[in-house]
Amino acid sequence: MVFSRARQSYDGVVLAVPVTVPYQRYSIETAHWWMGKALRALADGAGISHRDFDGFSVASFTMGPDVAVALTQHFGLSPRHIDHVPMGGAAGIVSLRRAARAVQAGDADIVACVAADTNRVDSFRSLLAGFSRFSQDAVYPYGAGGANGSFALIARYYMDRYGATREDFGKLCVAQRDNALRNPDALMKKPLTLEQYMSARAIAEPFHLFDCVMPCAGAEAFLVMREETATSLKLPFVRLLSAIERHNAFAEDPVQVRGGWVVDRDELYGMAGSAPGDMDFVQTYDDYAVISMMQFEDLGFCAKGEGPDFVRQHTFTVDGSFPHNTSGGQLSVGQAGAAGGHLGITEAIRQLLGTAEGRQVKDAKLGLVSGFGMINYDRGLASAAAILARAS
Amino acid sequence: MTEPLPRPKRKNPLSRTTQPLLPPSARSRKAHGFTLAAATGRFMLQCCGECGRYTYPAREACPNCLSSDLTFKDAPTGGALLSETRIEVTSDPYFREHTPWRTGMVQLDCGPVAVVHLHGDCGGPGSRLKLSLQLDRAGQAVFSAKPVSEVPHMEDDPQWREMTADPKHRRILITDGRGPLALPLAQALKKAGAARIFVGVADRWKPFDQQAPLEAIEGVEFVDLDLTSERSVQNLAMDIGAKVEILINTADHVRPAHLFDAGAANSAREAMDHTVMALMRLAQAFGPVMRSRGADGATGAVAWVNVLSVHGLSNAPQFGIHSAAHAACLSLSQWLRTELRPGGIRVINAFAGPLDTEWFQTVPPPKVAPKALADAVLDGLKRGLEDIYVGDVAKDIEARLFDNPKAVEREAGQ
């Protein structure tokens, strides 16, 4: 059997109208309320009615018992392409990829990609308790540390193996906080020093308070369409050059030290006609700084095991040598459930449209966004990435 | 090294008793294969009948060959620590009261990687470990890792004590002081560090064989207890119920009778009164207070042991009434287990073959020496088992029942 390994190009696919519904630590509203706000902002931004969205792709942990089709009635949509992408931090790129193919094929003209989650006082605990069958059977009963406990095991292993230190993780967290201070939508408003990072209380060794994202309520959204649709709507847009996703890669690694990006990264850069060094900024999925470091390696910015050294060689603020998570990332903006996987995309769109205001990376033409998600048992299963480019 | 558990201070009667909480207990049905193994102290994982690979967590199909022939099979207990953490913050109320909680990721010698509870004496990443399946406070199976070799006081590790029912510094009630088990049990409990051993005796004025040696054990205290009297059981519970952390029910009544004997029904009624009704009276009197004390400090209430006949699992015609009574006890114990679970109290059934005592005089060997039964109960408490099979006859019946219960039935009495 012969497989064609090369995927077709994403030519003509664009993204427009980045929407962030400002986050709240806790919300008494449901996920639907947040989705409604996001859809309204998308429609307002596009200057059309939400009924004109003929594609709808949704990601949420807290929309139950509804499924995507139920939401069409809830919001008065009548799409011909719908999608529910329950993939946590990879949902943004996966939604984008599928939406791109839908508009390329003419299955839809405008796909609204929406991620929204609420955060009630107890909803995070119930999400952890029932996250997956493997997690329920084989992780949660072991100290109920949630993602912190699971990633602490991954981080400790990475530190032992590659010599990363808490200071290295701290450097990324501190830089992101610096970026977040320029982002009015970030929940974290106070500066963070490395000393504060180092001396914060322990959560699950080696993680301390500032290694962990703050669960919150919020929504992120954007539109995917063909270039001519954007032009006719007079919408500023950015181009999708390439996108990859891979699930459950390297299952034989006893502890996760790499994600599926490694499998597909040559295609990612090949399709975009670019190299890692060409990127003007990078938005990694930063549920933990160690995972960002892993992405630097797996996306080819440095070799495996060189992540700690890469961090020591670079600066990561908006004006640094390696602008990274320019919104402040989830670590400083907040993690609004599945919206965390869309945060990097909306931020990348803004950077490439030149609308990132106080945190604008100078002359940003090319950017990489990465997604990672779903720690089903002992590792994050889903990895995805996309390269976006300024329209001209 | 584990700090030895200090003898608990006298409790301030005005201070609030901590309410019992349980660790997360939701499991898939397949995962109860581990419960089956943990209940008897075995270490088993799913193993593919086609490709022979072990797999974990519990699955419905082998990830290597997609066979659904995944049966739980004994596995080597060794492993190496890959990574570890100490959880300081959790949103789960049970673990919140037990932080910091040490967990690790272990490369099992049989192949898969497991997240495990890590004993405090385990070394860091790279260390060799010995794995076991334990029942946690919710009665659910969990993987636990200990160092390969014994370390002093390792049974006192606070996490390990949550998985076991160690008698150290606990107060125990043995319900039938006149039975053959009372003395060896009391001796073994004393040796294991029990703080106090209440021994129930009916009609205290009547002397009995083992009275003197029992009395000689420091910490043993005789209490009035007639298991056939509801009032007697209730009175004792009112007196010492809140001091019993482990209850060992040794109630028994062995009288041979043929099913067609004229007085068999009366014999059966009497046997039931001394066994299953006794268990019911004990459950009603001691169950509620034990359940409420499941988190009452490091030496709170922890276990209820029933000593049962293995013939409760499959009738032995020679002791038909005895078998039937113990079958009823077994059923009642399952009910009791459910009712005590919210308190984190473990119900342990020790199934024994015929004891080497006068009532089984006509039975040929092998028979179980009372001391062997007592030692098995202690072992079960210390390891946190749920089902204990004591002696060659009981182990034989366990294996045969697992294999083919009808064969056991047809061969009974032959």
* Beta-carbon separation of A144 and B92 below 8 A: yes
**Over the stretch A260-269, which tens digit does the pLDDT of each residue have?**
999 999 999 9
- Three-state secondary-structure class, residue A241: strand
Residues 6+ apart with CB under 8 A from A217: A23, A24, A25, A26, A27, A29, A34, A117, A118, A119, A336, A337
Same domain, A20 and A112: yes
Is residue B186 over pLDDT 90?
yes
Same domain, A245 and A307: yes
Same domain, A69 and A198: no
pLDDT at B175: 98
Same domain, A299 and A370: yes
Q: Which residue of A has its CA nearest to B30?
A: A137
**Over the stretch B119-144, which tens digit does the pLDDT of each residue have?**
999 999 999 999 999 999 999 999 99
Same domain, A224 and A247: no
Same domain, A155 and A226: no
Mean local confidence (pLDDT), B97-126: 97
Q: Is position A371 within any domain? A: yes
CATH number of the domain to which A118 belongs = 3.40.47.10
| Amino acid in position A165 | T
* Beta-carbon separation of A205 and B57 below 8 A: no
User: What is the number of structural domains in chain A?
Assistant: 2
pLDDT at A131: 84
Are B360 and B354 spatial neighbours (Cβ–Cβ below 8 Å)?
yes
pLDDT at B147: 97
Contact list, B92 vs chain A (CB under 8 Å)? 125, 129, 140, 144
Computed over every residue of chain A, the mean pLDDT equals: 96
Q: Is position A301 within any domain? A: yes
Contact list, B117 vs chain A (CB under 8 Å)? 142-143
- The domain of A360 spans 131-213+238-390
Contact list, A121 vs chain B (CB under 8 Å)? none
pTM of the model: 0.95
**Over the stretch A247-258, which tens digit does the pLDDT of each residue have?**
999 999 999 999
pLDDT at A342: 97
Share of chain B above pLDDT 70, in %: 100
**Over the stretch A129-177, which tens digit does the pLDDT of each residue have?**
778 999 999 999 999 999 999 999 999 999 999 999 999 999 999 999 9
Report the complex ipTM: 0.94
pLDDT at A129: 76
| Amino acid in position A48 | I
| Amino acid in position B149 | S
pLDDT at A127: 77
Which listed CATH number (3.40.50.720, 3.30.70.100, 3.40.640.10, 3.40.190.10) goes with B171-411? 3.40.50.720
Confidence of residue A392 (pLDDT cuts 50, 70, 90): confident
**Over the stretch B284-294, which tens digit does the pLDDT of each residue have?**
999 999 999 99
Same domain, A45 and A185: no
Task: Give the one of B27, B90, B92 whose C-beta lies nearest to A136's C-beta.
Answer: B27
Same domain, A260 and A221: no
The mean-pLDDT minimum among A67-71, A129-133, B171-175 falls in A129-133
- Output B248 or B411, whichever has higher pLDDT: B248
Confidence of residue B205 (pLDDT cuts 50, 70, 90): very high
**Over the stretch A274-318, which tens digit does the pLDDT of each residue have?**
999 999 999 999 999 999 999 999 999 999 999 999 999 999 999
Contact list, B91 vs chain A (CB under 8 Å)? 124-125, 128, 144, 146
B88 interface with A at CB cutoff 8 Å: yes
pLDDT at A386: 98
Q: Is position A6 within any domain? A: no
The mean-pLDDT minimum among A364-378, B3-17, B247-261, B333-347 falls in B3-17
Same domain, A19 and A103: yes
**Over the stretch A87-145, which tens digit does the pLDDT of each residue have?**
999 999 999 999 999 999 999 999 999 999 999 987 777 777 778 999 999 999 999 99
Q: Which residue of A has its CA nearest to B137?
A: A141
pLDDT at B12: 87
Same domain, A364 and A333: yes
pLDDT at A358: 96
Nearest to B43 by CA among B100, B92, B112: B112
**Over the stretch A21-48, which tens digit does the pLDDT of each residue have?**
999 999 999 999 999 999 999 999 999 9
Is residue A351 over pLDDT 70?
yes
A270 vs chain B: nearest CA distance in angstroms?
32
Confidence of residue A3 (pLDDT cuts 50, 70, 90): confident
- DSSP letter at A215? B
Mean local confidence (pLDDT), A208-218: 96
The CA-atom distances, in angstroms, between B389 and each of B175, B300, B348, B354, B385 are 21, 26, 11, 12, 11
Contact list, B25 vs chain A (CB under 8 Å)? 141
β-strands A81-84, A55-59 pairing: parallel
Same domain, A207 and A223: no
Mean local confidence (pLDDT), B69-89: 97
Mean local confidence (pLDDT), A201-219: 96
pLDDT at A1: 67
Same domain, A276 and A165: yes
* Beta-carbon separation of A142 and B115 below 8 A: yes
The Cα–Cα gap between B276 and B308 comes to 10
In which residue ranges of chain B is CATH 3.40.50.720 found? Answer: 171-411
Is residue A381 over pLDDT 80?
yes
B369 interface with A at CB cutoff 8 Å: no
The last residue of one of the domains, among A197, A232, A267, is: A232
**Over the stretch B339-372, which tens digit does the pLDDT of each residue have?**
999 999 999 999 999 999 888 888 888 999 999 9
B405 interface with A at CB cutoff 8 Å: no
Q: Is position A27 within any domain? A: yes
B265 interface with A at CB cutoff 8 Å: no
pLDDT at B93: 95
